[in-house]
Amino acid sequence: MQVQPYLFFDGRCDEALNFYKKVLGAKVDMLMRFKEAPDQSMISPDSKDKVMHAAVRIGDTQILMSDGRCQGKPSFLGFSLTINAPDIAAAERQFNALAEGGQVQMPMGETFFASRFGMLADKFGVGWMVIVEKN
């Protein structure tokens, strides 16, 4: 069994995809727009070019994304995606890139459980934790 996160960006999925490509090297495995759906009766004209479903690979993990209902109110509360960085330099780089335009909740630093650890919400409101485990 596999459990995957599915993120709904309420109309900003293309922007999020481009951001994650730039800062995390994300690769789009599959992308389908609403205009490609066989039944167009439930799709508003404003949503036709929006992302109905995308499968995106960040490192070894596939994350699913969509614009969802395009109501303009994405809410990412109660969870965080975690990046296990290979070293401190990579962790700092990824953390700083994700934090751009977002909100740092816990600055990167050494903790009793990690060489580096930090928490933030990116500019889309998605929670992220970046960690470099202690050897």
Mean pLDDT of 104-126: 95
Higher pLDDT residue, 21 or 43? 21
> What is the per-residue pLDDT for 75?
75
Beta bridge pairs of residue 132: 116
For the chain, the structural domain boundaries read 6-66, 81-133
> Tokens in use for 84?
């296990």
Domain 81-133: state its class: alpha beta
- pTM to 2 decimal places: 0.86
Same topology for domains 6-66 and 81-133, yes or no?
A: yes
Of the candidates 92, 98, 79, the residue with the CA atom closest to the CA atom of residue 24: 98
CATH topology of domain 6-66: 3.30.720
pLDDT digits (tens, 9 = 90+) for 47-70: 899 999 999 999 999 999 999 877
